[in-house]
Structure 1
Amino acid sequence: MPMSPLEHDRRYGELDQVMRAYAGLAPDDTEDRPSTALTAYLRHTWHTRPWALGMAEAQLREYARNPPGTLRRRLGEFYAVPDVGLPEAGVQDWLLLLADHIRRSVEEGRVPARSAPVTHWEWHARFPELGQLLGGWFSQDMPDEFGARDDSHEAALADYAATTDPQIVARLVGELRELLTLELDESDYALAVAELGMEVDWPAPYAPSGWLASVAVRLEAFLTGK
């Protein structure tokens, strides 16, 4: 019988978050150094949900010590660790290595310095609402939905504002302001919007950061009714 969502989260929820951080990245953790993926997970989690690190360490260690058999995985009674490119015989040792890195980070206060996101997972974990906007309203389907006119970006933004709860819109404005305070190069802002799901060009004559700033202003105006 498949697990209920509550049981899944209680037993494997944070383990799943760690595994998601490895999507598209190599599990090249060593005894001395966590991988780019795990460092991104540690950085984001330390600064947003530090209490979850203990859960991650415990779930990783428990899973490594008691891996599910093939039948129970097929029945959906256990979480199946995604294929990260390691031989099956090495997955348990790798999970224990991740647990050791997380424990060491907590016990020794090894907190990755705050910085701009580095991985695809970290961009979406840190800016989830911006990812919803860019991936949902500014995907490659935007010209079909809002036309290929000069005002299509404005039309898409107006549709987002009109169909989204104002509290979510306000949260998005905060994410935009946070992203702009990173003071990245324009090439890095271009990378950021691509990582967050934007598949069309930003409108002329804006640079990426200028367009993001204009989006924040337009959404603030919507919230205040101006």
Structure 2
Amino acid sequence: MSLKPLEHDRDYGELDQVVRAYLGQVADDGPDQRSDALTAYLRHTWHTRPWAVAVAEEQLREYARSRTPSRRRARLNPPYPVPDVGLPDTEARSWLLLLADHLKRSVENGDVPPPGVPRTHWEWHARFPELGQLLGGWFSQDMPKEFADHDTALADYLATTDPVLVARLSGELTELLTLPMDEADYARAVAELGMEVEPPAPYAPSGWLTLVADRLTGERAPGP
């Protein structure tokens, strides 16, 4: 039986966020070591939705308890499959409890990863969702078929996107451009966020992102 959205979010919504942070990553957490994936989840969540860390801890424990091997527990298993992170079923329950322990210590000890450059695909998209929408939607490999050039693609985004989202994009670009990154980091950033074409000549990724940010600021400038 499939879950309704309210049921899913109430029982598994934050658990789902934690586990999806591991997609494409190695689940190599240990009792005294957090994986890059869990650190990325904590870094983003502490600085955007700090209350959700405790919710995730509770949902992870409840889900792990529901997977206790017994006929009774088998009947109670929730109708929700955790996204596959490459662990065998025999290790999944102990891994979920290990994650819950890490989250509990993070809350109780105030162990908050400092702001920094995203380390995983999940973190790039969680932190810069509207920039991912722009780059993945308007600057995919199909861009040359749909638009004459980069400026035309950007103009189409601006003409078809709610001004509130454009303002959000402007803020995300400002944040991205303040991170301590070199040009290779910017190239990785735009690739992680879905850009599949090169920036227009003669710009490197950072220069083109700066140009886009300036364009957005001009679009929002009040008239005379």
Shift of 1:223: 2.6
Match of 2:21 in 1: 21
**Contact 2:66–2:76 (CA<8 Å) still a contact in 1?**
no
Say if 2:53 and 2:107, in contact at 8 Å, map to a contact too.
Answer: yes
Structure 2: gaps of 5 or more residues: none
Instruction: Please give the TM-score of this superposition, normalised by the length of structure 1.
Output: 0.92
Alignment partner, residue 218 of structure 1: 215
Identity, in percent, stands at 68
Question: Equivalent of 1:164, from 155, 161, 164?
Answer: 161
Deviation at 1:225, TM superposition (A): 6.5
Partner residue of 1:181? Answer: 178
Aligned counterparts, 1:1-226, within 5 A:
1-67=1-67, 78-147=79-148, 152-224=149-221
- Deviation string, structure 1 residues 38-79 (Cα, Å, up to 9, x no partner): 011011111111000010000000000013988888xxx622
Q: Distance in 2 between matches of 1:208 and 1:109?
A: 36
**Aligned pair in 2 of structure 1 residues 70, 115: CA closer, same or farther (>3 Å)?**
same
Runs (4+) of structure 1 exceeding 3 A deviation are: 68-73
Q: Following the alignment from structure 2 to structure 1, what is the Cα–Cα distance between the partners of residues 180 and 41?
A: 22
Aligned partners of 2:79, 2:177: CA distance in 1, in Å?
41
C-alpha separation between the residues in 1 aligned to 2:127 and 2:86?
Answer: 26
SS of the aligned residue for 1:48 comes to: coil
- SS in structure 2 of the partner of residue 12 of structure 1: helix
Amino acid at match of 1:132: Q
2: CA distance, partners of 1:11 / 1:208: 41
RMSD (Å), alpha carbons: 1.7
Shift of 1:87: 1.3
Q: Is the 8 A contact 2:58 2:100 kept in 1?
A: yes
Q: Distance in 1 between matches of 2:21 and 2:150?
A: 31
Q: Distance in 2 between matches of 1:218 and 1:104?
A: 44
Q: Could you tell me whether the CA contact under 8 Å between 2:18 and 2:41 is conserved in 1?
A: yes
Query: 1 CA distance for matches of 2:193 and 2:127?
Result: 10
Aligned equivalents of 1:61 and 1:70: distance in 2?
Answer: 16
For 2:96 and 2:191, the matched residues in 1 are separated by 31
In structure 2, the CA distance between the partners of 1:194 and 1:210, relative to structure 1 (3 Å rule), is same
Equivalenced residues, count: 219
